[in-house]
Amino acid sequence: MSKRTIAGVFFASLAALATSIVLFAIGFLVALQQNVFIMEGPDVVGVRSGTSAGMVLTLGVLGLLLGVASGLGGFASWLGALAATGGRPDKTWFVVLLLLGLLSIGFLATLIYLVAGPPDDPAESAPSGVAEGEVAPALVAR
């Protein structure tokens, strides 16, 4: 997996997390505004059914799904960073990413890799049939 792809998945998962938080906040504020919660003092003892409660539930479920997708995307970007560094001769980045991920801070490990990690290896070019130093013949349109 290329560093560019890892960055795309990583930042998409961050966007999903931010959207999830916003959906939860909107749902909570709507629930408070529409008096969806039945309160006894500081305790919530029930929920009033109705359109507002359905909307709050929908926002909560969407926020939950986006939160799960965010976690899976972050995990995938961490695994991609591990795969990208695993094939290198120097295993320092691989070990750092692995240890930080196993300590449950894979988010930070992936971010550090994206900012300061080694660049991708240059892709091996396919042989063109022209030896190095020779000029390829030009195509002539007839």
pLDDT at res. 68: 97
Is residue 43 within a helix (H) or strand (E), and if so which, with residue range?
A: strand 43-47
Tokens of 98: 């692995």
Q: What is the mean pLDDT of residues 52-71?
A: 93
pLDDT tens-digit readout, 83-113: 999 888 889 999 999 999 999 898 999 999 9
pLDDT tens-digit readout, 42-60: 898 888 888 888 899 999 9
**1 Cβ neighbours under 8 A, 6+ residues apart:** 80, 81, 83, 84
Q: What is the mean pLDDT of residues 16-44?
A: 91
Helix and strand tally (H, E) in the chain? Answer: 4, 2
What is the pLDDT confidence band of residue 37, given thresholds at 50, 70 and 90? Answer: confident
**From the CB of residue 77, how many other CB atoms can be counted at a distance below 10 Å?**
28
In the predicted model, is pLDDT for residue 30 greater than 80? yes
What is the pLDDT confidence band of residue 8, given thresholds at 50, 70 and 90? Answer: very high
pLDDT tens-digit readout, 12-25: 999 999 999 999 99
What is the pLDDT confidence band of residue 11, given thresholds at 50, 70 and 90? Answer: very high
Phi and psi dihedrals of 33, rounded to 5? Answer: -65, -40
Q: What is the mean pLDDT of residues 59-69?
A: 95
Closest to 31 (Cα-Cα) out of 13, 48, 17 = 48
